[in-house]
């Protein structure tokens, strides 16, 4: 039977009073393989075993070393550190045997490719763990983690696999300043969190939070991306099928130094599944951009074979008029829900790769402004009227697939060979786009076209004659495009060569005959 967390704290205080040595000493672990923490013969130091305020160090030099420190009682120290003194690595496990727990007053340090794994309940009085490179700290399933958690370096991995994560009464429950957090928490109680926030700040380096289990933020202060520091690259990915993140995601303002390169990423990135597998992750809360006037990049990401669904509202919550929004990854990102995305209309949206599917309720804006579809990428409609009527579309090598829906928007610019797909029932109306196409670019239109399928402006000037000649119809041969007096596109058959020759021949014969008659009359 495991000892309750409150008892761990009480016992650690009693142990501090009974310690036979002065606190703040360094103790070095000697054994290779499993051995008892409570056996003083396993430690080199001032005597006894490490206790409250002491540092427990597990080191090696040239060879890799795997060892287990077995707890025979509830234990408290200032710090546990696993570190190589040479080319070797340390792989240390703290094993409470299902009965005993560990209290950390300061932190855990794992350096030079080493690792520390806790098979015990853990109470942490410090939020920041020093982990670098390929090093890691793991809090195993089957146990409780109590206290705040975070990284103090620019790299390394923290695996939070505890059955229960109790964030306590702190304002911040988690802060990843750099490195990777793999989140697989069985229970995350809002009553324990007390409105504290989780943030992936990326303050000291690229920071990523991989969601391997659902994260319910109800009653918390929300999940913050890039909330502090400069030059932020903060990411939150869902990596397991069916994962859902609820409540709001908030992007905080950068530090006082400003932010010239801020990249914030949210989405699905299945880097643990086998090749060819599929996974879908849902983000049900709002995405609030607080950029403080900085030109930040907000990426909505889905790796190949992945789908990320955003059913909340993407909105400007302070100084995001210069924001750049991007769809990245070869997978599918879906904007759905009953409420419009209301980010600043001045912000551009770039579909850089994969597919962005707009599937909000019909007539609800999934895109609030301009959108560009780059080479190899697809903008797809899952419902009708998803783009604000003032939003302009730029096709720079990408595809606009109407998916059998209807859309009315601003102008169409063409900067590279691109594709427009019209399924059955599709129609699209652009504003007058005369002169907005690169002269060497081709627009290929696929699907069935009727008299109401495509419109440019309100009259025949919606496209120039040169632009009309740049259109190819993949499902029709020997036709050219024309606009009628209301701007609707019509298909004009190209006369066959034999018919054209007969027309020219008849014209020539008529001219010769006329010359002959004129000659006779002059006589």
Do 458 and 434 form a contact (C-beta atoms < 8 A)? no
Share of the chain above pLDDT 70, in %: 84
Burial grade of 318 (CB within 10 A; 0-12, 13-18, 19 or more)? middle
- pLDDT digits over 43-73, tens only? 999 999 999 999 999 998 778 999 999 999 9
* Residue 514 scores a pLDDT above 50: no
- pLDDT digits over 403-438, tens only? 999 999 999 999 999 999 998 899 999 999 999 999
* Residue 259 scores a pLDDT above 60: no
295 confidence band (pLDDT: 50, 70, 90): confident
Q: DSSP string of 287-311?
A: EEE--TT---EEEEEE-TTEEEEE-
509 or 282: whose pLDDT is higher? 282
H or E segment and range at residue 13: helix 5-18
**What is the spatial distance between Cα 453 and Cα 414, in angstroms, rounded to a whole number?**
19
Nearest to residue 109, comparing CAs of 133, 75, 144, 142? 133
Do 237 and 268 form a contact (C-beta atoms < 8 A)? yes
Burial grade of 38 (CB within 10 A; 0-12, 13-18, 19 or more)? middle
Question: Angle at CA 408, nearest 5°, toward 407 and 413?
Answer: 100
Give residue 258's pLDDT: 41
Do 238 and 281 form a contact (C-beta atoms < 8 A)? yes
- pLDDT digits over 368-384, tens only? 999 999 999 999 999 99
* Residue 252 scores a pLDDT above 80: no
Residues 6+ apart with CB under 8 A from 500: none
Global pTM value: 0.86
* Residue 308 scores a pLDDT above 80: yes
**What is the spatial distance between Cα 221 and Cα 360, in angstroms, rounded to a whole number?**
27
Task: Dump strand ranges (E) for 189-295.
Answer: 197-200, 207-211, 223-225, 233-238, 244-245, 249-251, 263-268, 279-283, 287-289
Taking all residues of the chain, what is their mean pLDDT, rounded to a whole number?
85
Q: What is the mean pLDDT of residues 88-115?
A: 93
Residues 6+ apart with CB under 8 A from 50: 25, 27, 43, 56, 77
300 confidence band (pLDDT: 50, 70, 90): very high
Tokens coding 141: 């399933």
Q: Beta strand pairing status for 115-119 and 90-95?
A: parallel
395 confidence band (pLDDT: 50, 70, 90): very high
- In this predicted structure, which of 127-131, 298-302, 488-492 has the lowest mean pLDDT? 127-131
Residue whose structure tokens are 């041969």: 477
Structure letter (DSSP) for residue 397:
B
323 confidence band (pLDDT: 50, 70, 90): confident
40 confidence band (pLDDT: 50, 70, 90): very high
449 confidence band (pLDDT: 50, 70, 90): very high
Structure letter (DSSP) for residue 41:
G
Give residue 230's pLDDT: 59
Do 41 and 137 form a contact (C-beta atoms < 8 A)? no
């Amino acid at each position: 039977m495991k000892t309750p967390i409150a008892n761990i704290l009480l016992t650690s205080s009693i142990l501090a009073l009974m310690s036979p040595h002065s606190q703040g000493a360094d103790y070095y672990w000697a054994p290779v393989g499993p051995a008892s923490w409570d056996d003083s013969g396993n430690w080199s130091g001032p005597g006894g075993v490490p206790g409250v305020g002491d540092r427990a160090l597990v080191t090696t030099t040239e060879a890799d070393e795997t060892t287990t420190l077995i707890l025979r009682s509830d234990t408290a120290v200032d710090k546990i550190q696993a570190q190589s003194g040479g080319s070797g690595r340390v792989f240390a496990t703290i094993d409470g045997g299902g009965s005993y727990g560990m209290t950390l007053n300061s932190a855990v340090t794992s350096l030079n490719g080493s690792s520390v794994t806790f098979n015990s309940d853990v109470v942490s009085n410090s939020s920041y763990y020093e982990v670098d490179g390929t090093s890691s700290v793991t809090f195993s399933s089957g146990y409780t983690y109590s206290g705040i958690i975070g990284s103090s370096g620019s790299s390394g991995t923290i695996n939070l696999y505890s059955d229960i994560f109790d964030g306590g009464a702190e304002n911040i429950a988690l802060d990843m300043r750099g490195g990777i957090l793999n989140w697989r928490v069985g229970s995350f109680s809002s009553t324990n969190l007390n409105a504290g926030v989780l943030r992936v700040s990326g303050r000291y380096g690229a920071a990523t939070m991989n969601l391997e289990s659902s994260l319910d933020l109800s009653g918390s202060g929300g999940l913050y991306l890039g909330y502090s520091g400069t030059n932020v690259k903060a990411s939150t990915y869902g990596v397991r099928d069916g994962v859902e993140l609820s409540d709001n995601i908030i992007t905080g303002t950068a530090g006082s130094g400003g932010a010239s390169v801020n990249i914030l990423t949210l989405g699905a990135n299945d880097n643990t599944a086998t090749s060819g597998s599929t996974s879908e992750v849902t983000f049900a809360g709002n995405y609030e951009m607080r950029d403080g006037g900085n030109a930040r990049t907000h990426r909505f990401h889905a790796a190949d074979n992945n789908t990320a669904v955003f059913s909340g509202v993407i909105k400007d919550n302070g100084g995001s008029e210069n924001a750049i929004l991007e769809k990245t990854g070869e997978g599918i990102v879906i904007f759905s829900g009953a409420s419009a995305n209301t980010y600043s209309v001045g912000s551009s949206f770039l579909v850089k790769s994969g597919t962005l599917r707009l599937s909000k309720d019909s007539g609800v804006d999934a895109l609030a402004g301009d959108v560009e579809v780059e080479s190899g990428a697809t903008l797809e409609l899952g419902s009708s009227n998803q783009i604000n009527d003032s939003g302009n579309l730029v096709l720079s090598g990408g595809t606009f697939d109407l998916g059998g829906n209807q859309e009315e928007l601003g102008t169409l610019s063409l900067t590279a060979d691109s594709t427009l797909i019209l399924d059955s029932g599709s129609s699209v109306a652009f504003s007058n786009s005369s002169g907005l196409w690169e002269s060497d670019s081709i627009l290929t239109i696929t699907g069935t076209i009727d008299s109401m399928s495509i419109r440019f402006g309100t009259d025949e000037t919606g496209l120039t004659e040169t632009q009309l000649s740049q259109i190819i119809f993949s499902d029709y041969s020997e036709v050219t495009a024309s606009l009628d007096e209301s701007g609707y596109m019509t298909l004009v058959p190209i006369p066959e060569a034999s018919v054209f020759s007969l027309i020219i021949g008849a014209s020539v014969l008529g001219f010769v005959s006329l010359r002959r008659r004129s000659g006779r009359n002059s006589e």
